[in-house]
Amino acid sequence: LFDLYKQALACKTQDQTFSLADFMSPHVAVQAVGASQHLGLVASSNVKKGELLMAHKAFAMVFEAQGAAGGTQEQALTRSILERLSAEGEASVMGRQVLSMYSGNHFTMPSDALRSRVLGKEGGTTAEAEAAEIVPKANAERIMGTVQCNAFSTAASFGFQADARSAVQLSMDRNLGLWVLPAMLNHACVGNCQRFFVGDYMFISAVEDVAKGTEFCHSYVDPYADYAQRQHHTSRFGFACQCKVCTQDETFERLHAHSHSEMVSAQQEYSKLVPLLTRASTGDKASAKEAMAPLHQVIVRLESTLGAKSLKRELLRPYQSLALLHEILGDFGAAAECRDKAYFAVESEWSVAHVHWAIEAMLAHSRAGNKTTAAKLRENAREMWRVCVGDMRLFNL
């Protein structure tokens, strides 16, 4: 049995690994999906919003606080997987599952060089010998590909990790792990389920009602990156995303070429402001004042070009930035208005990140004296938390 509250508190004092049974809902089935008939996870019966779909322990995980032993986290995770395969045997149940995972078709690096890279060292006989002691060349190459195609990072995801300052916290650490069953979830920029982490466990919950026969999907990439960036990132996995968000973006680009060009130009101007906005975020009022006018102009340009889109997700981050500038300068009424526009740009998309955006809007309205609106936003945040996480004791923390 899982006690999320107990596990989250335990992350404060222990190494963030747990020995609990995995869980998979009886309403989830592994099936061949799509025209290519690749494996995915499908609802075997109707699933209600908020239902826990699975809880799964990482096969291997590298915590940022532990370091990567002189290499990248991908290299460290690959070494950890190879060592476990060597210890347990490739013929074990988990060994067979890991070795059957998709590892891509784009690896052309010579095997000896790859094995040295896996070990986080320069080429040479020592690295080759150590790699050979762990696992054969072919498996080292395969596992590196498996990590690149299937590993999950907890960066910018919700999770509870050890922290000396508080009992629990929203983790922004870039912990990296391989979870075998969740890796079977396919991609959509706006999915019908979402993940969160407690130590080395990943939890997947449905964030909307899912009808029988519907595939479960979640996002492999930053869902609020622009269309070109999302397509670039998903191409690394060997496919072009055709979810509802990408379909709308592709249609907008094709049918409204001039507006699309203006939108991209405005987004580029926003990117140029990021260094100034970063300085302002430290509380630098001079930088906040300097950024105010050009950021407002970016938003005006975006608003004027997005009329043909029903989903105006491009407004999320600029309005969040503008709200922060107003807060730094003490204009909480304007900040509340901007927080609303940011929040409502993605209101229909539920995730734990949206809980925090709702709380940001709630705090802005509270500072502005709008108690009724603040109370409503708090209830929205609580409901999203109930759906995405479930344990309301963690929300109260």
User: Do the Cβ atoms of 241 and 189 come closer than 8 Å?
Assistant: yes
Mean pLDDT in residue range 237-262 = 90
Mean pLDDT in residue range 356-366 = 91
pLDDT of res. 145: 87
Where does residue 2 rank: exposed (0-12), middle (13-18), buried (19+ CB within 10 A)? middle
SS3 30: strand
pTM of the complete model = 0.80
| φ, ψ dihedrals at 387, nearest 5° | -70, -45
* 2-6, 229-233, 295-299, range with the lowest pLDDT: 2-6
SS3 90: coil
Work out whether the CA dihedral 264, 268, 274, 280 comes out positive or negative. negative
pLDDT of res. 20: 79
pLDDT of res. 337: 95
- Band (371; pLDDT cuts 50, 70, 90): very high
Instruction: Note the pLDDT tens digit of each residue in 281-305.
Output: 999 999 999 999 999 999 999 999 9
User: Do the Cβ atoms of 41 and 32 come closer than 8 Å?
Assistant: no
The whole-angstrom separation of Cα 118 and Cα 138 is: 12
Mean pLDDT of the chain: 82
User: Do the Cβ atoms of 338 and 322 come closer than 8 Å?
Assistant: yes
Mean pLDDT in residue range 219-246 = 87
Instruction: Note the pLDDT tens digit of each residue in 64-88.
Output: 766 555 578 888 899 899 989 888 8
